Amino acid sequence: MTALRFGWLAWGTMTIAATLAGLDNHISAQTEAVRQPAAAASYVGSTACARCHAPIYDRWKQTRMANVVRDPKEHPDAIIPDLAQPNPLVTFTRDQIAFVYGSKWKQRYFTKVGDDYFPLGAQWDVTHRQWRPYNVAMGTDWWTAFYPPENSKRPTGPTCDGCHSVNYDVKTKTVTEWNVGCEKCHGPGSNHVARPGRDTIVNPSRLDPISSVNVCLQCHSQGRPLANPVEGRYYDWPVGFRVGLNLRDFWQLEEFKPGETTFTHFPDGTAHKNRMQGNDFTQSVMYTHGVTCSSCHDVHGTRHNADLVRPASEVCLTCHGPKAPNGPHTAGIEQHTHHRAGSTGSECVACHMPAIEQTIGDVMVRSHTFRFVTPTMTETSKIPNPCTSCHKDKSNAWASETLRSWPEFSPWRVAP
């Protein structure tokens, strides 16, 4: 009887052990698949995903992610300005435009010569509804040192196409599709189409936070490929990287040195141009604590500005609030903001994401470090602070004095 009971126990233990071992193998295999998305997988294009993921595909189709680059021959309405109105900056005709880029802040125009695209000399400022010249001036971006000054000698392959397409091939100059299709973030999908399962596709939300953020950072950052020059050319995007590989093996973020104002950075390290959300965000406390881009944005498209998962006035409050250990540590939000509830100044983003990063002319987008830039910092380092960016008639000294009177804050931090 005792022997029999022991026998059962032994069998049971072995079964559990075997099951666990199997599970363990399965987990390892899956992790491996996620890190190395089937080396043999090939790109299939976003329409192949629509068959099973129709709702998400339909949503994505309407996003800017899916529509930044457009061929005006297929989408005549893509060109926003009236090209019939003469303007000295506009030295090209509609027929010359092979691609338009952008619609929210600015629109740029590209012409095709051979198998390459080249920027045309004028861009449309959507906010001010006016033409502005378009030519990246020598010395204003690191890559200008490696190209002649004329737009006609600066093909988009090295400077734009890697991010504005899926699977841009630097040798053949071909793409699987233009714009940010499914496989830009999920990796090549042929194995998943053949055998749909979690282990045949990358889901950025299941990656560790660092890798998850890197999926966005591959394009939403200023940096340089480690491999430059690639076949004699200097690229402005991470050549060779695809989701599943380790971005740091392909890309380095543009360096900053505290105290220096450069093309890319304010003296405190905050970006002062667009396309630098990644440079900003990796400096944030949220990043170190594992918050990812997708904690706030749903790139498949939402009804909210910037594809936020909730409106900007609410999204921060998902994790932050009077009772949250994440702060702010005050009884009410108003006690933290010191601005009337519902006013512009009461929004988290007003102070933690000031619009100080240039996208075109005087049109600015929001910073992503989430830190509060003090008015003192404006005095010492010439970086705009959120107080006087909004209260334009007031001085930095006024802002510092006001901050010193806010008892919830340490003056050593907000108004040193």
Partner 1 sequence: MIFLGPVLIVWIGALLFSGTQTPASPSPSYVGSQACARCHAPIYDRWQRTRMANVVRDPRDHPDAIVSDFTQPNPLVTFTRDQIAFVYGSKWKQRYFRKVGDDYAPLPAQWDVTHRQWRAYGVTGATSGLCDGCHSVNYDLNRKTVTEWNVGCERCHGPAGDHIARPTRATIVNPSRLDPKASVDVCIQCHSEGHPTAAGGGHDAHWPVGFTVGLRLPDFWRLDGYTLGTMDTLHFGDGTGRENRMQGNDYVQSLMYARGVTCASCHDPHGTPNNADLVKSARLVCLTCHGPASPNGPHTATIEQHTHHQPGSAGSDCVSCHMPKIAVMLGDVKVRSHTFKFIAPAMAERLKMPDPCTTCHTDKATGWATAVLKTWPEFSAWRVAQ
Contacting positions for partner 1 (CB under 8 A): 210, 217, 248, 252-253, 255, 257-260, 267-268, 278, 282-283, 285, 287-290, 325, 327, 329, 376-377, 380-381, 404, 410-413, 416
Which of 70, 320 has the CB closer to partner 1?
320
CA distance 305 to 21: 47
Query: Of 381, 401, 317, nearest to 391 (Cα)?
Result: 401
Counting every residue, how long is the chain? 416
- Partners of 100 in the β-ladder: 70, 109
Query: Of 171, 176, 175, nearest to 230 (Cα)?
Result: 171
Which of 14, 285 has the CB closer to partner 1?
285
End-to-end CA distance of the chain: 80
Instruction: Specify whether the CB–CB gap between 221 and 278 falls below 8 A.
Output: yes
CA distance 67 to 380: 42
Report in angstroms how near the CB of residue 392 gets to partner 1 at its nearest.
Answer: 25
Two tokens, residue 231: 């076949």
Report in angstroms how near the CB of residue 292 gets to partner 1 at its nearest.
Answer: 12
Please tell me what DSSP assigns to residue 160: I
CA distance 208 to 156: 33
Amino acid letter, residue 361:
G
Which of 50, 210 has the CB closer to partner 1?
210
Report in angstroms how near the CB of residue 404 gets to partner 1 at its nearest.
Answer: 7
CA distance 236 to 223: 7
Which of 141, 268 has the CB closer to partner 1?
268
Report in angstroms how near the CB of residue 260 gets to partner 1 at its nearest.
Answer: 6
Two tokens, residue 21: 């071992």
Report in angstroms how near the CB of residue 356 gets to partner 1 at its nearest.
Answer: 16
Report in angstroms how near the CB of residue 265 gets to partner 1 at its nearest.
Answer: 11
Which of 129, 404 has the CB closer to partner 1?
404
Which of 160, 217 has the CB closer to partner 1?
217
